[in-house]
Amino acid sequence: MKAKYLFFSALIPAALAVSAYIYRNSFHADNLFLIEGVAFTCGVICALAYLASPKNNRAVLLLTAAFIFSIMGDFYFRKYDANSGLIMGGFFFLLAHIGFSIYCLTKVKFSWFIFAVIAIPYVIWYFTVLMPSDRLRSGGFLAFAVFLYLIASCFSFSVSIDLKNGSAASWIFTAGIACILVSDSFIAARSFLDNRRFAFLIMPLYYLCHILIALSVTLRPAPGIRR
């Protein structure tokens, strides 16, 4: 597929996401084919972007791997019981964040200041709000795993922010990472605080994260070319 047509391929995961949302609200059940299809097609789009210009887009394969890890993480979240599902699912989502972060670090210089601005409020929220909850207070390894994932999420968001040379594609990618960070925050509130006020936004934000990341890849020019 020619690079200039890749932009339109982002309509495929968007259509799957809308279908999954409608299916959920119509039948009060999840259609795993539609749900996992969003991440899968986004991974395919990234792979096609690599094939369109392999010498200039090697880092984009990290995104394909990240989407695969996301599928595996979602599988464990759904298949296993509460604690083991969170730990195993969180492990694969952690690998996804590592993929996102390494991809960003090939394009953006890490800033301790940006990381601190993002991470410090989340660390305070973790220790003052999440940590006192029954599940985290009684589960040492689970508490450590959740904290590690929180730090990794804040890190991947911070390195996605390019304040100096950010293009439209770069900011779309940043918006995608922001979506998954907020979605994970709502998951934490639901899982540990039994706060379901914003639970209805978890999956739409999850879908939007994948779509925006894939879209950013289709819009990103080859290195050395500014848009």
The span from the CA of 35 to the CA of 50, in Å, is 24
Instruction: Please report whether residue 224 resides in a domain.
Output: no
Does 1 score more than 60 pLDDT?
Answer: no
What is the pLDDT averaged over residues 196-216? Answer: 94
Number of independent structural domains in the chain: 1
Segment 124-165, tens digit of pLDDT: 999 999 999 988 887 688 899 999 999 999 999 999 999 887
pLDDT computed for residue 4 by the predictor: 62
Average per-residue pLDDT for the chain: 89
Does 177 score more than 90 pLDDT?
Answer: yes
pLDDT computed for residue 84 by the predictor: 78
The span from the CA of 52 to the CA of 179, in Å, is 27
Does 3 score more than 70 pLDDT?
Answer: no
pLDDT more than 70, % of the chain: 92
Instruction: Please report whether residue 227 resides in a domain.
Output: no
Instruction: Please report whether residue 226 resides in a domain.
Output: no
pLDDT more than 90, % of the chain: 66
The span from the CA of 205 to the CA of 52, in Å, is 29
> Which domain, by its residues, includes 36?
3-219
What is the pLDDT averaged over residues 164-184? Answer: 92
What is the pLDDT averaged over residues 163-179? Answer: 90
pLDDT computed for residue 193 by the predictor: 92
pLDDT computed for residue 225 by the predictor: 34
Segment 32-67, tens digit of pLDDT: 899 999 999 999 999 998 888 766 678 899 999 999
Does 14 score more than 60 pLDDT?
Answer: yes
The span from the CA of 173 to the CA of 180, in Å, is 11
Could you tell me the pLDDT band of residue 224, with boundaries at 50, 70 and 90? very low
17 vs 135: which has the higher pLDDT: 17
Instruction: Please report whether residue 225 resides in a domain.
Output: no
Could you tell me the pLDDT band of residue 223, with boundaries at 50, 70 and 90? very low
Does 200 score more than 60 pLDDT?
Answer: yes
In DSSP notation, the chain reads: --GGGHHHHTHHHHHHHHHHHHHHHHHSS--HHHHHHHHHHHHHHHHHHHHHSTTT-GGGHHHHHHHHHHHHHHHHHHHS-HHHHHHHHHHHHHHHHHHHHHHHHTTS---HHHHHHHHHHHHHHIIIIITTSHHHHH-HHHHHHHHHHHHHHHHHHHHT--TTT--HHHHHHHHHHHHHHHHHHHHHHHHHH---TTGGGHHHHHHHHHHHHHHHHHHPPPTT---
What is the pLDDT averaged over residues 175-183? Answer: 96
Token duo for residue 171:
């900011």
